[in-house]
């Protein structure tokens, strides 16, 4: 299943309040078993830790957000836009550096969750499909540097 279709299905599923509540807990290691069935029905490899972590991270973030459809802003650009002085903000730079220092999907998910919550609290609509795609690619060591460069370019971009 492609990333866009997965995100579309998550957004349509959270219209149900019970599903939304379960998805909010998807990134909790003690409670994510409630969402495994959803992954299996979509044909996502729930046995693969990286696939499962990426899906659960995005599902929880979408369920906690105030938006009803996928956005177009990259999460790195959204991070910069979350601060008044944008990519000049020490707090934003620190968060970006912490993300770029991650070495595996688990670390990435742990550092990405609060960033996505922050961006959502500023009503910035991020592109969850690209986040999911990046998380899936991050498991490959030869892709990590390319992703880090992409994120830094988006973060320091002067576009509004």
The domain tally of the chain equals 1
Q: Could you tell me which of 136, 154, 56, 148 has the C-alpha nearest to residue 99? A: 148
CATH code for the domain of 129: 1.10.520.40
User: What distance in Å separates the CA atoms of residue 134 and residue 136, rounded to the nearest whole number?
Assistant: 5
Decide if 104 contacts 135 (C-beta within 8 A): no
Q: Residue 98: its pLDDT value, please?
A: 97
What is the percent of the chain with per-residue pLDDT over 70, rounded to a whole number? 99
19-67 residue pLDDT tens:
999 999 999 888 888 899 999 999 999 999 999 999 999 999 999 998 9
Beta bridge partners of 73: 126
Q: Residue 159: its pLDDT value, please?
A: 63
The residue segments making up the domain with residue 123 are 3-156
């Amino acid at each position: 299943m492609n990333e866009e279709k997965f995100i579309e299905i998550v957004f349509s599923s959270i219209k149900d309040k019970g599903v939304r509540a379960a998805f909010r807990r998807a990134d909790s290691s003690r409670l994510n078993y409630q969402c495994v069935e959803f992954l299996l029905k979509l044909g996502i490899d729930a046995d693969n830790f990286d696939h499962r972590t990426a899906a659960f991270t995005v599902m929880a973030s979408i369920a906690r957000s105030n938006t009803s459809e996928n956005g177009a802003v990259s999460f790195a650009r959204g991070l910069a836009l979350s601060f008044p002085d944008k990519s000049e903000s020490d707090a934003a730079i620190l968060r970006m550096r912490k993300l770029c220092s991650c070495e595996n999907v688990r670390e990435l998910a742990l550092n990405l969750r609060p960033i996505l919550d922050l961006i959502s609290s500023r009503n910035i609509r991020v592109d969850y499909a690209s986040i999911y795609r990046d998380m899936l690619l991050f498991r490959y060591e030869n892709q990590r540097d390319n992703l880090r460069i992409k994120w830094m370019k988006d973060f320091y971009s002067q576009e509004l």
